[in-house]
Amino acid sequence: MSAPSPAASAPLPDSTGLRLMAVHAHPDDEASKGAAMMAAYAAAGAEVLVVTCTGGEAGSLLNPSFADLVRAERDITAVRREEMARAAEALGVQQVWLGFLDSGLPEGDPLPALPDHCFAQLPLETAAAPLVALVRRFRPHVLISYDEAGGYPHPDHIQAHHVTLEAWRAAGDAEAYPGTGEPWEIGKLYYDRAFNPEKFRALHEGFVASGQESPFATRMAWYEQAEAMREVLRRREAGEDVPDPKDVPAWIPPHHEVTTQIPVADFLDERDAALRAHATQVDPDGPFFAAPNEMLRSTWPWEDYALIESRVPAPTPEDDLFNGLR
């Protein structure tokens, strides 16, 4: 979207009395997708609740410098719960576990079967019922989760998308999910756009312009491949006989236009603290920290969202998730 302006670092308006719920698949997802936004709204007085669908039990140890390898291998569930508590404290938010079993990320050809009774294998109503109950108890004005591909195609992320849409639809319906509390109609539904190509293009160009090697060059090449494949698919839908492009990406992310940019320049340190809290999953020298915060503040001082549905008038573009609800 536009270049940064003074408004990009302006504080959010007082948000006392407003409530935001962010639904995530695993502990650590909240730190890499919307952490600075949540810290900003918490500082502005909003109640912010992170919902973590699974315990992250199937997660691999991704930080080669993690100090307590023996304990992590012995009891990864307890370690990740402690990490999540520290991340929530760093952001100033509340957090609730839905208690489902991590499905893991299957790899191989053919892909192995997912574990029995894991989150991604559950019927939608079974997986969504605890979230509907939580929505009715917390009564969020804004609900945020992933797009239909899960942000990236992890089975738990895709299931998190499905249960979020089900909660959006059903929580306000008195006939749905009896016994889970009084109905509550959420005002606005957003998809997180943490992987917004325009953001990474701006950062990539910033590195190149400064004479540095860009850590985002591979990502940009993949975005170009995905866009080329989208164009092929569009032309095929129009009836053209078009061959595949030279490089076919493994998957094509859905496109949702960014409608909402939340200024977070003053909360990048809180985001970093939340990321580092997940010490089993986040390498302090890894890709989450590839762009220095100084560059983010000058190049892309926002976190990006797509407004998918709204039950209140809310013109876009906007710089406040509670636009139309205040």
List pLDDT tens digits, range 181-198: 999 999 999 999 999 999
User: Residue 65: what pLDDT?
Assistant: 80
Taking the C-alpha atoms of residue 31 and residue 270, their distance in angstroms, rounded to an integer, is 9
**Helices 76-91/268-277 angle, 10° precision:** 170
Report DSSP state, residue 187.
Answer: S
> Which of the four pLDDT bands, split at 50, 70 and 90, describes residue 9?
low
221 phi-psi bin (left φ>0, alpha ψ -120 to 50, beta other): alpha
Q: Mean pLDDT over residues 24-32, rounded?
A: 98
> Could you read off the pLDDT of 253-265 as tens digits, one per residue?
899 999 999 999 9
The answer to whether 192 and 164 are in contact (CB under 8 A) is no
Query: How is residue 318 annotated by DSSP?
Result: B
pLDDT recorded at residue 318: 98
Identity of the amino acid at 221 = A
pLDDT, position 10: 76
Residues 6+ apart with CB under 8 A from 172: 183, 184, 185, 186
Q: Which CATH class is domain 6-195+257-310?
A: alpha beta
136-158 residue pLDDT tens = 999 999 999 999 999 989 999 99
157 assigned ligand-binding residue: yes
Over range 154-169, report the average pLDDT: 98
What is residue 107's predicted lDDT score, i.e. its pLDDT? Answer: 87
Buried/exposed 208-222: b ≥16 CB within 10 Å, e otherwise: eeeeeebebeebbeb
> DSSP readout, 133-148?
HHHHHH--SEEEE--T
Looking at the DSSP assignment, which residues form a beta bridge with residue 188? 142, 310
Task: Write the CB contacts of 136 (distance below 8 Å, at least 6 apart in sequence).
Answer: 171, 180, 181, 182, 183, 184
The pTM of the whole model exceeds 0.85: yes
pLDDT (tens digit per residue) in 211-224 = 999 999 999 999 99
Task: Locate 23 and state its tokens.
Answer: 């639904």
Whether 56 has a pLDDT exceeding 90, the answer reads yes
On average, the pLDDT of the chain sits at 94
Residues 6+ apart with CB under 8 A from 245: 225, 228, 229, 232
With b for 16 or more beta-carbon neighbours within 10 A and e for fewer, the 255-287 pattern comes to ebebbbbbbbbbbbebbbbbbbbbbbbbbeeee
Backbone angles phi, psi at 322, to 5 degrees: -95, 15
Is the pLDDT score of 1 beyond 70? Answer: no
pLDDT in tens, 59-90: 878 888 887 777 878 888 999 999 999 999 99
State yes or no: 154 annotated in a binding site: no
What is the three-class DSSP state of 87? helix
Contact 54, 155 (CB under 8 A): no
How sure is the predictor about 7, in pLDDT bands with cuts at 50, 70 and 90? Answer: low
- Which residues have CB under 8 Å from 61's CB, separation 6+? 69, 72, 73, 76, 280
Taking alpha carbons only, the member of 100, 98, 146 closest to residue 120 is 100
Sign for the CA dihedral angle at 138, 140, 146, 150 comes to positive
What pLDDT sits at residue 5?
Answer: 56
Cα end-to-end span (Å), the chain: 25
Please give the DSSP secondary-structure letter assigned to residue 3: P
For the chain, percent of residues with pLDDT exceeding 90: 84
Does 29 count as an annotated binding residue? yes
